[in-house]
Structure 1
Amino acid sequence: MSKFNAGILGATGAVGQKFIRLLQNHPWFTITALGASERSAGKTYREAANWIEAVPMPDTVAGLSVRNCVSGEFDDVDFVFSGLDSSVATDIEKDFASAGIPVISNAKNYRTDPTVPLLIPEVNPDHIELIKKQKFTADGSGWIVTNPNCVVVPLVTSLKPLYDAFGIDAVVVTSMQAISGAGYPGVASLDILGNVVPYIGGEESKVESEPHKLLGKLNEEGILNASFPIQSTATRVPVENGHMLAVTVGLKNKASASDVIDAMKNWQSPIADLGLPSAPPFPIKIHEDERYPQPRLHADSENGMQTAVGRIRETRVLDISYIAMAHNTVRGAAGGAILNAELLVKKGYL
């Protein structure tokens, strides 16, 4: 397969840096352009970035000149990954798509657009067909695809087998979210050390809405969203990586804990045979030890791309309860967007 030239928007930020780390030695994608704010533009990446990844800055990007996030400065790329802050993403991503440069975004801005796929490849790969409805360019060369909120990824990945097998009436979820999800510099140390913050602004509404689009059905008009209530509580905990969720589910067709375990274990990923480099062989790992999953032990499983599930049990309220966890900046952010790009290559959109 020929390599694709990829740009990264928001390259100096925490998500942009994760893109850079994960794309090193990628068999299909080569980083050829980095974009950031005006104060960084014109500097080398080494000069512009406060590198926070736990590996040295790759030499392949250290000497690259940082560009303004303007489509006219990215004429040497096949597509861009966007790690932009939501405060600027709307106009910048539209500029790139309108210039015929596909955008694979981690930002929230276009997730609710009815023509923009909100994508978890193992859950709703068929939703990429929405790209054909986008009107950024007359010839369809420019488009936007998004990945979900970092809590929604393990939530929906774990719900998908249950939704298919039993149907869902209601979901209650409490997230215990790692500090890396707040970006850099993130949460002040005096707020989080030895503490739990029981509210994350803007988070709960995304967790309560995005699963409906992800689990929706594609038809000629677009996506017919799933319809069941979700009650979300989002908390910040003093963990570096890995968002943990306590999930309770009401099922349309009643099932035992063993039925649910079987449904998750027997669930077949629809992209299993595509040979996508970032796809975990087992998207869901069921842990039988009641102490698991734990962020420190399991966030990096399958290169950070696996959703870990444990403590599956029947409940007195609703039907089934379990714990889910995934690496928030890999599976829930940059790694998820890279997997989206790989799927788009295989399906002929890149």
Structure 2
Amino acid sequence: MPFTRNSMRRTVTTRLNVGILGATGAVGQRFVELLEGHPWFEVAALYASERSADKPYREAVNWQVPVPRPTYVDDFIIREMEPGGDVDLVFSALPREPARTVEAAFARAGIPVISNASTFRMDGDVPLVIPEVNPEHTALIKVQQKSRGWQGFIVTNPNCAVIGLVLPLKPLHDAFGLRQVQVVTMQARSGAGYPGPPPEVINDNVLPFIGGEEEKVEAEPRKLLGTITGDGISEAALTVSAQCNRVNVLDGHLESVSLGFEKRPTVEEVARTLREFRGLPQEAGLPSAPEWPILVLDEEDRPQPKLDRDAGKGMAVTVGRIRSDSVLDIKFMVLSHNTIRGAAGAAILNAELLKGDVSDLATARTHVQQLVDALGRLDVLVNNAGIWTYLETGTGNEAEWDRVMAVNLKSVFNYTDAAVPV
């Protein structure tokens, strides 16, 4: 039975306290920028390495984001990366190896972790999520908590180049059936973190190797486009070949994509399918969601990083130069902002997906009943400020509703739209 959802708008009445792991790094700085004034989340704690711990943020950080540093965090004292800080969830901007122990410690302590790190992405019980692509994969949280004995959980977003690639692949795969993907990436300097490649290496140059990148770009799309089967993901049956390059551009990953399909579409069908695509974040009105996740340009020399990376406040991807391909079927260029949609913005959108808004029992029942009507008897994942329970619907069990509402500690009843037919 396919995943189905009803369109709904969200009105959240309580902001959750959030922390940022790795707050002084390049992606951590983007989290600080993007979370300023967020309607659902309030930054309450910043975490970094021992070198930065116990210092005010303004002294610990070497601010590199091309906007002024938000003053709201200036006097935050950096905490060591241990669970604590009175937070309801944390965003992780940690490198791969520190994430292995730190993220697990927070999840074990009952604190949800919304991670940009690659460490756990391909684990069978960890959701790897783009909200427009596979929101139903959040149902793996239940599997993860059971298998690992955690009260919290880890949800990840994909590699920065993968997000820009898979957003247009999703509607095309649904409509025409993808068989093959060939992609050549031209990835911005900022994707290497700070300080990145030194000027004498990157100036007047292209670096034709990014360690571990091609493996991620070839593996992650299959999980993202896969389906939930039992306690895991059945990966999509497509082959992906990637070549990844670092180029001397500040922000914005540009990718040259060629696709082979089960049912070959026309150029016009591809353009129309991409232009019309909207996902759950757009239907639900999530705060960070762009109105249109994919923009299609007709100009022959677009997209370009300097002109198009900030589309949708950096959260939309831009597709151009859609043409027939003489080797496969269709080819195009796609551009995404690697530190916004490809990193911090992606994680924030994942957190918004997981945080619902149902503020009373009657509204909760109405929304859940919509899912029941669409899918039949199902389990709905219910979340309140990091406390997760699992409600078996369709039983009319008043005691079960009372149990779920008893965890309403923040005066907001939260749930995900992810539903798994039973």
Cα deviation for residue 139 of structure 1 reads 7.8
Deviations 1:176-214 (A, max 9, x none): 000000000001111111111111111000000000000
Q: Which amino acid aligns with 2:52?
A: S
Q: What's the secondary structure of 2:66's corresponding residue?
A: coil
What is the match of residue 87 of structure 1?
97
Q: What's the secondary structure of 1:67's corresponding residue?
A: coil
Deviations 1:3-28 (A, max 9, x none): 10000000010000000000001111
Equivalent residue for 1:51, pick from 41, 63, 67: 63
- The separation in 2 between residues aligned to 1:54 and 1:136, in whole angstroms, is 42
Deviates more, 1:184-193 or 1:259-268: 259-268
Give yes or no for the alignment of 1:195 onto 2:237: no
Q: Which amino acid aligns with 2:41?
A: F
- The separation in 2 between residues aligned to 1:221 and 1:145, in whole angstroms, is 16
Equivalent residue for 2:171, pick from 152, 161, 184: 161
Cα deviation for residue 348 of structure 1 reads 4.6
Consecutive unaligned residues of structure 2, counting only runs of 5 or more, are: 1-12, 357-380, 386-422
- The separation in 1 between residues aligned to 2:286 and 2:63, in whole angstroms, is 28
What is the match of residue 176 of structure 1?
186
Please give the TM-score of this superposition, normalised by the length of structure 1: 0.97
Q: What's the secondary structure of 1:113's corresponding residue?
A: coil
Equivalent residue for 1:150, pick from 151, 154, 160: 160
Equivalent residue for 2:348, pick from 335, 338, 348: 338
Tell me if structure 1 keeps the 8 A contact 2:109–2:150.
Answer: no
Equivalent residue for 2:25, pick from 13, 23, 26: 13
Equivalent residue for 1:34, pick from 46, 52, 55: 46
Cα deviation for residue 59 of structure 1 reads 2.0
What is the match of residue 123 of structure 1?
133
* Shift in CA distance, 189/133, structure 1 to aligned 2, threshold 3 Å: same
Aligned length: 348
Cα deviation for residue 107 of structure 1 reads 0.2
Q: What's the secondary structure of 1:335's corresponding residue?
A: helix
Equivalent residue for 2:285, pick from 275, 278, 283: 275
What is the match of residue 226 of structure 2?
216
* Shift in CA distance, 268/188, structure 1 to aligned 2, threshold 3 Å: same
RMSD: 1.4
Equivalent residue for 1:65, pick from 66, 77, 96: 77
Cα deviation for residue 280 of structure 1 reads 0.5
Consecutive unaligned residues of structure 1, counting only runs of 5 or more, are: none
Q: Which amino acid aligns with 2:63?
A: W
Q: What's the secondary structure of 2:283's corresponding residue?
A: coil
Cα deviation for residue 274 of structure 1 reads 1.0
Give yes or no for the alignment of 1:254 onto 2:264: yes
What is the match of residue 329 of structure 2?
319
Tell me if structure 2 keeps the 8 A contact 1:152–1:207.
Answer: yes
Give yes or no for the alignment of 1:185 onto 2:195: yes
Tell me if structure 1 keeps the 8 A contact 2:278–2:293.
Answer: no
Percent identical pairs in the alignment equals 51
Rg larger in structure: 2
Cα deviation for residue 140 of structure 1 reads 5.7
Q: What's the secondary structure of 1:333's corresponding residue?
A: helix
Q: Which amino acid aligns with 2:24?
A: T
Tell me if structure 2 keeps the 8 A contact 1:98–1:136.
Answer: no
Please give the TM-score of this superposition, normalised by the length of structure 2: 0.80
